């Protein structure tokens, strides 16, 4: 069966997930993360990708971003594959692939799931047991979005700007979003959409996407064909 082409639409946020091949570490040192971050800033600007949230873990990373073009996300990942993987292989005297197959991604319905995905991305180190306090983790967008730390990778989405009329108000409102944990069904929905390339959103959102990209945006429900 032919693979479905990617479901990317300009102006609609997407959740991207890339994991190391065989779950191997893709960041071994702080220097690796510094170089990756610098490359991602450059590639995002070059290919018109606005990154709203991100996290760099040990063997994977997540990004929530909006592309100016349908291929913005793919171009960024392709360029990072050349630049960062080349750096990593040279530094650690290895060859071959670093990423695990194709990157996983899905479009996100802004009104319903945008901040849910923000929380999912930035809470990764807590769920993994790496930290207990998000304020201590340098390699995510949380400190920028919630506390005002400078981060030239982060571009606030319009929905973030609407959280308050002033910077302090927006940050306080953003921190309040993290007072409640994501429940199991929500976590499952986010992971399912990213793994399979389906849209993360409601039926209406999926229909709008399908009208623009001419491919299914959600899995078809199983059942018997209707009798005629």
Counting every residue written for the chain, the total comes to 228
If you search the block for the tokens 């290919």, which residue do you land on? 47
Domains of the chain: total: 1
Residue 17, both tokens: 């997930």
Give the count of beta carbons closer than 10 Å to the beta carbon of residue 195: 12
Give the domain range for residue 18.
13-213
220 lies in a domain? Answer: no
User: What CATH number does the domain containing 178 carry?
Assistant: 3.30.70.1290
84 lies in a domain? Answer: yes
225 lies in a domain? Answer: no
Q: Which of 130, 117, 77 is nearest to 99 (CA)?
A: 77
Q: What is the pLDDT along the chain (228 residues), one digit of tens a residue?
A: 346 667 788 999 999 999 999 889 999 999 999 999 999 999 999 999 999 999 999 999 999 999 999 899 999 999 999 999 999 999 999 998 899 877 888 999 998 899 999 999 999 999 999 999 999 999 999 999 999 999 999 999 999 999 999 999 999 999 999 998 899 999 999 999 988 888 899 988 888 888 887 778 887 665 444 444
pLDDT of residue 227: 44
Q: pTM for the whole thing?
A: 0.91
pLDDT of residue 221: 64
Cα–Cα distances (Å) from 81 to 86, 95, 102, 107, 182, in that order, read 7, 13, 11, 21, 31
Angle at 19 between CA 207 and CA 79, to 5 degrees: 80
pLDDT of residue 127: 93
110 lies in a domain? Answer: yes
pLDDT of residue 223: 47
219 lies in a domain? Answer: no
178 lies in a domain? Answer: yes
1 lies in a domain? Answer: no
Largest CA distance in the chain: 64
119 lies in a domain? Answer: yes
């Amino acid at each position: 069966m032919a693979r479905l082409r990617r479901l990317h639409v300009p102006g609609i946020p997407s959740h991207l997930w890339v994991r190391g091949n065989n779950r191997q570490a893709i960041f071994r040192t702080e220097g690796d993360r510094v170089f990756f971050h610098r490359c991602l800033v450059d590639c995002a600007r070059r290919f018109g990708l606005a990154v709203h949230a991100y996290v760099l873990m040990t063997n994977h990373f997540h990004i929530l971003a909006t592309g100016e073009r349908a291929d913005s996300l793919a171009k960024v990942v392709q360029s990072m594959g050349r630049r960062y993987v080349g750096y990593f292989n040279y530094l650690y005297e290895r060859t071959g692939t670093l990423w695990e197959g194709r990157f996983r991604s899905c479009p996100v319905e802004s009104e319903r799931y945008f901040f849910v995905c923000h929380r999912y991305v930035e809470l990764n180190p807590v769920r993994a047991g790496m930290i207990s306090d998000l304020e201590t983790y340098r390699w995510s967008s949380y400190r920028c979005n919630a506390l005002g730390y400078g981060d030239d990778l982060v571009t606030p989405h319009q929905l973030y700007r609407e959280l308050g009329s002033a910077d302090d108000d927006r940050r306080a409102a953003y921190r309040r979003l993290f007072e409640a944990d994501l429940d199991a069904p929500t976590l499952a929905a986010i992971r399912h959409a990213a793994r399979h390339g389906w849209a993360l959103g409601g039926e209406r959102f999926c229909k709008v996407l399908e009208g623009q990209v001419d491919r299914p945006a959600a899995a078809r429900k199983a059942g018997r064909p209707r009798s005629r």
